[in-house]
Amino acid sequence: MKYLFVDGYNVINAWSFLREAKQVSFDAARQALVDKLLNYAAYSKERIILVFDAHLQPGSIEKKERVNEYLTIIFTKEGQTADSYIEKEVNSLGRKIEVCVVTSDSLEQQLAFQRGATRMSSLEFYHEMIKIEKNIGTELKKKNSENRNLLGDRIQRDVLEKLEKIRRSP
Structural domains present in the chain: 3-157 (3.40.50)
What tens digit of pLDDT does each residue of 14-63 get?
Answer: 999 999 999 999 899 999 999 999 999 999 999 999 999 876 677 778 88
Spatial distance between the Cα atoms of 14 and 50, rounded to a whole number of angstroms: 15
Instruction: Read off the amino acid at residue 25.
Output: S
Of 34, 41, 36, 51, whose CA–CA distance to 1 is shortest? 41
- Within 10 A of 160 (CB to CB), how many other CB atoms are there? 14
13: Cα within 13 Å, side-chain hemisphere = 10
pLDDT tens string 111-145: 766 677 888 999 999 999 999 999 988 888 887 77
Q: Please say if the pLDDT value at position 154 is more than 70.
A: yes
Q: Whole-angstrom Cα distance, residue 93 to residue 74?
A: 17
Q: Which of 31, 27, 29, 4 is nearest to 18 (CA)?
A: 29
Give the pLDDT of residue 50: 97
pLDDT tens sequence across 66-118: 999 999 999 998 888 888 899 888 888 757 788 899 988 776 767 766 677 88
- Burial class from Cβ neighbours inside 10 Å (0-12, 13-18, 19+) for residue 33 reads buried
